Structure formats: C-alpha cells, structure tokens
A and B are shown apart, each in its own frame.
Chain A
Amino acid sequence: MKTLAELAALRDKARNQVAMREGKAKTKIVVGMGTQGIDAGARDVLLAFAKELDKDNLFETAVVTQNAALAIDGKLPVVEVYEDGKKTATYVNMTADKAVKVVNDHIKGGKVVADYTL
C-alpha cells in the first residue's frame, strides 16, 4: 500500500462486501417465492437477478430479495421492482432470461420493460 489511489481502488473492490448492509441501494427487486412461485421457477429468476446485479457491480444501486406473499394466480413467478419516488413495476410470468433484460433495460436503463408487466 503506497498511495491513496491504490487504497481507493482496494476500497472500490471491497465495497460489494458491505454495501448491502448500508441500505443505500434505491431500487429493490422483490421476487415472489411462495411454494407455488418456487414451483413455477422463482428460484431461477431470483438467482438470475442476483447473478446479473453481481456481474455488473450494481450492488450500490439495487438489491434483490424475496417475499413469500407476492403472487398472482396463473401468472407466476411474479417480480416487483420498487424505486424511491416511482411507481412500482409488477412483472409477471418471469423467467431467468427475462430477468436479464429487466436488469439491463429497467435497472440500468431506467425503462420499465412494458412487455413483461401486468
């Protein structure tokens, strides 16, 4: 460790170890994980979101969590995206591939993927 720049680089690399605990991420992705949701493939969707966020180092921007109560009959798995000051987006019939697109267009691009919403 010789310079402040070196320290700053190390800090940025280590950020994803603690960022989640600071509650700074403004966007929260909630995957409906009731028993039926899991049956319909909600775990794959959850993991796809986690993987995508991790890949693009979005840990300061968004977190992904689950809620067993979130379900809409016949349209599982359901995902809701909460953002401070914005209308909640409800995605239905989600898949892992659709999750990747939601991260790219919605989380990173700021545009709700209207095709997937309710």
Chain B
Amino acid sequence: MIRTHVLVCGGTGCTSSGSVAIREALVKEIAAKGIADEVKVVGTGCFGLCALGPIMIVYPDGTFYSMVKIEDVPEIVEEHLLKGRVVERLEYYDAKTEALIKEGKQVGLKDTNFYSKQKRVVLRNCGLINPEVIEEYIARDGYKALGKVLTEMTPETVVDTMLKSGLRGRGGAGFPTGRKWMFAAQQPAGKKYVCCNADEGDPGAFMDRSVLEGDPHAVLEAMAIAGYAIGSDQGYIYVRAEYPIAIHRLEIAIKQAREYGFLGKNIFGTDFNFDIQLRLGAGAFVCGEETALMTSIEGKRGEPRPRPPFPAVKGLFGRPTILNNVETLANVAQIILNGPEWFTAMGTEKSPGTKVFALGGKIVNTGLVEVPMGTTLREVVEEIGGGIPNGKKFKAAQTGGPSGGCLPASLIDTPIDFDSLIAAGSMMGSGGLIVMDETTCMVDIARFFLDFTVDESCGKCTPCRIGTRRLLEILDKIIAGEGTLEDIDKLEELCTFIKSASLCALGQTAPNPVLSTLRFFRDEYIAHVVDKKCPAGVCKNLMRYHINPDLCKGCSACSRVCPVGAISGEIKSPFTIDTTKCIKCGACMEKCRFNAIEKI
C-alpha cells in the first residue's frame, strides 16, 4: 500500500556528496515514524543536475529537493512525508518555477528550465527507476524489444531497421551504427563478438557512466539485439575500473538478466544464445580507440593497430566484431519498439535522435542534459545551462574534449550535430561540453588538453608520441612569454603532420584543440608572443599585480595576507608590490575591499 516514493540519487556525483548515508537515514526515520509500509525509498541513477546533489524527489507530486543534508532528513519525514508540507527551503527552483510558485502552482522537476527543454530518450530511465531492480526496467517496457526481435523479426530486418533509423555512433566519430552491424552480419557465420565501449575517457564527460549507473539493462538488451542481428553469441563490456558504481550495477544487472533468461541459452524460447562478460580497463585513454580496446580485451597491452582490416571483418580474437558506445546502445531498444520513423523525426536529417552532453566549466547548471540533435549551443548554454555565473561573458565552448575544438561566441547559434560541429572545426566527440568565460585563456586551454594527450599517448607511433610533446613544449614557451611569431607557424605546421601521420584517432585528433584555438583566437596567441600579455590574465609569467594608488586606502590588509611579504607601505598611504618577490597567488586581490589591486 505504498502512497509515496522518495527517490534518492545514487549516481557517482550524489554518492560522493553523501547520498547513501541520506538514503539510510531516511529509511530509519521513516520506520521510526511508523510509515514504512506507506513510503518507499528508492535509490536511482543520475537525475542530471549533479552540481546540486544530493538530489531527492518525492512522488506523486514530483517535489524536487536539492543539496539535501543528513540533518534535513527528520524535517522532510515529519513535515513532508507525514503531513504533506513541502520543505520549501530545500526546494529547487529557477526563474521559471519561481514565477509558477508565486502563482500558487505546485511545481516539479519537469517544470524547470533545466528539464523542460530536454528530450530524454537515452536517459529515459535514469533517475526514474531503481537500476538494481530488473522488474522496474521491465515495467518500463524493458526487454520487450529483445522479445520482439527474437520472435517477430529476422536478423536482416533488425539491421535494416537500424540502417533506416540513421543512428550514428555516439562515441565521437558518428559512424552509422546500422552499417557497422551490416558489415559484421555479412561476414561468414562463425564466432563473432559484440563489444560495448564503456571506456569513457574525455575529461569532463560522464554520460556513459550515468547510463550504466542509471539504466544498465538498456545496454544489455541492446547488446543481445546486436548479437542476434550479426549472429554473435558473446558480448563484452569494456568498462574502466574507475567506475565502481557502474561496474557493481552492471554485475547485478547481468545476474538478474540471466535469472530471467534474457541472457543465456535459448532466449525467449528460440535457439538464440547470448551472454555478456565484463572486462575492466585500467583507465588508459587510448583504450577508447576501437582496435586498442579489443587488444586490451585480449589481455594484451592496449595499443591500436592499423585499419583495415576493420573490426567488422577482423576484430576481437581475429573474428568479426562490432563495437558500439554505451549511449549508442541505449538508443537501440527504443528504435526497435517505436520504429525508425520515430527516431528520424527527432534531431536533424543527417544526425537524427538526441545527444547527451556533460555540461561543465563556467556554467550555472553543471550536469547531464539530453537534447535533440540540432539544438543550438545558445539554447544549451543559456536556457538549459542557466548561463554563465557571476555576470561574466560567454567566450567559447569546448566540445569533443581533447579531440575536439572550441566554438567561439560568434558561433553560439550553431546547431549542435555531427556535421555542423565538424564544419566549425570542432567535433561532437563523446559529448563533453566545457563552457569558458572571459577569464579563460585560450592558449592555456589548448595547453591543458595537450598535456592530457601527451600523458595518454600510448607511444606506439612517432608522430603522436614525439609530435604532441613538441607541441606542448612550444605552448609552454608561449605561455612563459618566450614565444615568437615563428613558433605559432611551427605549431600549425606540426599540427598538420601529427594529424596526417598518426596511427589512430588519438594522435589524429590531438592537435585539434590547438588548431581550433588558433583559428578563432589567433589574436590571443599573438598577444602572448608579441605584446607579452595574456589578455585573460591567466598566464602568470605574462601578468603582474599592481596596486592603484588612487584607490588604495593604506589599510595593510593585503600586506598581512601576502605569503611572501612582497607588499609594503605605510598605514593610510598607498602600498606597493615588489614584483621580484611576488608569486602571483592573487591572495591580496581577494582580500582588498577597495578594488585597488589589479592584474596588468
């Protein structure tokens, strides 16, 4: 006789801010009040608004509580669950829902700007079901697509449906999923493999993790469908060991699916057999590359190899293999159930469907959003993302992580889809979207990503191993204020070589952050090498702190906070900074109440 469900996020973000303890406290408190058989506490996957965690939602009204603390639990139980008084101080609201609340309307999650603009296909079950209970997935039409495929469709019609849907790989490259399946299906019968790429490595991207944590069965079901389509009986999920919650939920999901017979022998009474095993990666970025990933599953060092032969012909253990990304697979069952026309009705002509983005950087709503392809960058940043905090101006957005590039403010109305991003010199990548404001230095950003690729280069081919290191050295030189105009030319030339000569996508795309910042923010590079200035005031060697004598009241607050004793002066007359001693930590600037300290 359950009348209320209390959903508590159990994704990685909320777990790290203490949601597990909150869930336990909630269960205890509910029992203490004697309402345990009326109120059910459910641990779910990610709701998306990770910056506001721990998140709690109370149904049937859908009341949305954010940043809940363990001390808030008794009040929530006593006031809300027992008496129906919403604990207003914990309610999340934005400008839109605030207006609705003023009109006396009850608002829920779906009314907020953050959610109302989203279209949830991949994330349809995330934050709604308990990922550790297979029945909740089944209640949401889970495994119906697998049943339909096995009992009513031939492998050819399954491949055909995927071709018609136009689904493109969400891992980054955007290769049509149906064609991948078709190539593998066309190979002579024999051992074939279905692999799932859950080796999400882009800094700031966590959409695959959230799907695995929030809706693991969607991935298992899709892999079984793929197995039937290409004639495979064995699947592998390659997931990084750094995702312990995702691994735990996958293990539970695989066990439950076997118990129900969705995995194993003679699935749905047919002669189709399929099973899935997990393979844990150690977190090397290169293992997200398909050939390196499969080499790693084979138990060897994760290094890429030249293609062709493509994996569809000769992949894992030398057998035909398909490799699909987690987010790609999460679309499959929905396409089978709703038809390819339903899918192509969303998004753009060449990029149908939706895309999940991990919004990060200088943005109000940090978290996970799913929007139809073709949504403009402006809508994502300003409406769903809530804009830039502290009244700062939007400068650029980095898409595609270390393999992608940036979109400057002039391109903020670009529709986000595979082809528009490539035309703008960036790429979709796995969907990391890092927003930058005017205080971000673009040379520094390029350096940040390059530092990452230098670290993650596997070292097999020379252009990537040595080329990226040389790139990083030139960038370091520019940031140190020792660069020349020739260095900028050298950067560009080297980028072209690395792009064309590297063995795999890691090296081929590594120069992208440099090339795209050069394309849109060349003036910043020139300011660094010619004027020896960092316009954003980030590069320490190119800026210094200065006390404006007209504003300084001589209060000595700055000199007291300076860790190296670089500031001196007499009380009530302007202080000065000894730039030879200053380490540019910025502590004085934060302390000054008169805005007398400036970066120049």
Name A's B-contacting residues (CB within 8 A). 1-4, 7-8, 10-11, 13-15, 17-23, 25, 28, 31, 33-35, 38, 46-47, 49-51, 54, 63-69
* CB <8 Å contact, B261 and A17: no
Known: A2-B269, A47-B1. A20 touches B59 (CB 8 A): yes
- Residues from chain B with a CB closer than 8 A to the CB of A49 are 3
Closest to A18 in B: B139
- From A1, A14, A28, A54, give the contact of B136 (CB < 8 A): A14
Closest 4 CB pairs of A and B: A66-B84, A63-B60, A14-B139, A50-B3
Interchain CA distance A31-B151 in the complex, whole Å: 47
- List B contacts of A23 (CB < 8 A): 59-60, 62, 108, 110
Q: How far is the CA of A21 from the CA of B60 in the complex (A)?
A: 6
- Shortest distance between the CB of A63 and any CB in chain B (Å): 4
Q: Which residues of B contact A50 (CB under 8 A)?
A: 1-3, 38
B144 contacts A by Cβ under 8 Å: yes
Asked if residues A21 and B84 are in contact (CB atoms below 8 Å), the reply is: no
List chain B residues, Cβ under 8 A from A10.
135, 138
A25 to B60, CA, bound (A): 9
Does more than half of chain A's interface fall in helix, strand or loop, or is it mixed? helix
The answer to whether B128 touches A21 (Cβ under 8 A) is yes
Q: Is the CB of B133 within 8 A of A17?
A: yes
Which listed residue (A7, A17, A38, A54) contacts B144, Cβ 8 A?
A7
CA of A31 to CA of B4, assembled, Å:
13
A-B contact count (CB 8 A): 100
Bound together, the chains give a CA A1 to CA B134 distance in angstroms of 13
26 A–B contacts, CB within 8 A, in A order: A1-B143, A1-B260, A4-B148, A4-B151, A4-B268, A7-B147, A14-B135, A15-B139, A17-B133, A18-B129, A21-B7, A23-B59, A23-B110, A28-B60, A33-B83, A50-B2, A50-B3, A54-B1, A63-B3, A65-B60, A65-B61, A65-B84, A66-B84, A68-B79, A68-B83, A68-B84
* A3 & B83 in contact (Cβ 8 Å cutoff): no
A84: min CB distance to chain B, Å: 14
B590: CB under 8 A from chain A? no
Q: How far is the CA of A25 from the CA of B3 in the complex (A)?
A: 13
CB pair A51 B83 closer than 8 Å: no
Who on chain A is nearest to B261 by CB?
A1
Chain B residues contacting A63 (CB-CB under 8 Å) are 3, 59-60
Contact with A along B257-282 (1 / 0, CB 8 A): 00011100001110000000000000
| A3–B5 CB distance below 8 A | no
* Known contacts A14-B135, A14-B139, A33-B83, A1 near B60 by CB under 8 Å: no
Q: Nearest Cβ distance between residue B65 and chain A, in whole angstroms?
A: 15
A22 to B2, CA, bound (A): 15
Docked complex Cα distance between A2 and B261 (Å): 8
- Alpha-carbon distance A50/B60, docked complex (angstroms): 12
Interface centre among A1, A33, A49 (most CB of B within 10 A): A1
- Inside 8 A of A64's CB, which chain B residues have their CB? 3, 60
Bound form: Cα–Cα A18–B131 in Å: 12
B140 at the interface (CB under 8 A from A): yes
Q: How large is the interface on B (under 10, 10 to 19, 20 to 34, 35 or more residues)?
A: 35 or more
Quick check: A66 and B83 within 8 Å, CB to CB? yes
**Which partner residue on chain A sits nearest B141 by CB separation?**
A11
- Could you say which residues of chain B place their CB within 8 Å of the CB of A38? 83
Task: Produce 1/0 per residue, B235-268, CB < 8 A to A.
Answer: 0000000000000000000000000111000011
Residue of B nearest to A38 (CB): B83
Residues of B within 8 A of A66 (CB): 83-84
Residue of A nearest to B110 (CB): A23
Tell which of B3, B139, B269 touches A3, judged by Cβ atoms closer than 8 Å.
B269
- B96 contacts A by Cβ under 8 Å: no
Residue of B nearest to A23 (CB): B62
Output the least CB separation between B87 and chain A (Å): 11
Q: Which residues of the partner chain A approach B147 to less than 8 Å between Cβ atoms? A: 3-4, 7
Which residues does chain B contribute within 8 Å of A14, judged by CB atoms?
Answer: 135-136, 138-139
Residue of A18, A34, A38, A46 with most partner-chain B CB within 10 A: A18
Q: Is A33's CB under 8 angstroms from B84's CB?
A: yes
Residue of A nearest to B148 (CB): A4
A-chain residues with CB within 8 Å of residue B62 when the two chains form the complex: 23
Q: Which residues of A contact B60 (CB under 8 A)?
A: 20, 23, 25, 28, 63-65
Q: Are A54 and B141 in contact (CB under 8 A)?
A: no
Task: Say whether B85 faces chain A, with CB atoms less than 8 Å apart.
Answer: yes
List A contacts of B260 (CB < 8 A). Answer: 1
Interchain CB contact under 8 A, B151 and A3: yes
Q: In the complex the two chains form, what is the Cα distance from A69 to B79 in whole Å?
A: 12
A residues in contact with B3, CB < 8 Å: 46-47, 49-50, 63-65
Contact B262 A17 (CB under 8 A): no
Query: Chain A contacts of B144 at CB under 8 A?
Result: 4, 7-8, 11
CA distance A3 to B150 in the complex (A): 10
A residues near B5, Cβ cutoff 8 Å: 20-21
Task: Check if B139 sits within 8 Å of A17, measured CB to CB.
Answer: yes
> Residues of B contacting A34 with CB < 8 Å?
83
Chain A CB count within 10 A is highest, among B128, B133, B268, for B268
Interchain CB contact under 8 A, A1 and B135: no
Closest to B4 in A: A65
With a cutoff of 8 Å between Cβ atoms, the chain A residues found around residue B133 in the complex are 17
Which residues of chain B are near A13, meaning CB under 8 Å? 135
Q: Within the assembled complex, what's the spacing in Å between the Cα atoms of A17 and B140?
A: 10
Given contacts A21-B5, A54-B1, A65-B61, contact A3 B268 (CB under 8 A): yes
* B38 CB contacts on chain A under 8 angstroms: 47, 50
Q: Are A67 and B84 in contact (CB under 8 A)?
A: yes
Please give me the residue from chain B that is nearest to A2 by CB atom.
Answer: B269
Q: How far is the CA of A65 from the CA of B86 in the complex (A)?
A: 12
**CB–CB A17/B136 < 8 A:** yes
* Residue of B7, B60, B142, B147 contacting most chain A CB atoms (<10 Å): B60
- A35 CB to nearest chain B CB (Å): 8
Contacts of B110 in A (CB 8 A): 23
In whole Å, how far is B166's beta carbon from the nearest beta carbon of chain A?
A: 27
- Residues of B within 8 Å of A15, CB to CB, are 139
Measured CB to CB, the nearest residue on chain A to B146 is A7
| Contacting residues, chain B, for A8 (C-beta < 8 A) | 144
- Chain B residues 310-340 with CB under 8 Å of chain A are none
CA distance in complex: A69, B104 (Å):
12
- Contact yes or no, B2 A54, CB < 8 A: yes
CB <8 Å contact, A21 and B59: yes
Residues 28-83 of B contacting A (Cβ, < 8 Å): 38, 59-62, 79, 82-83
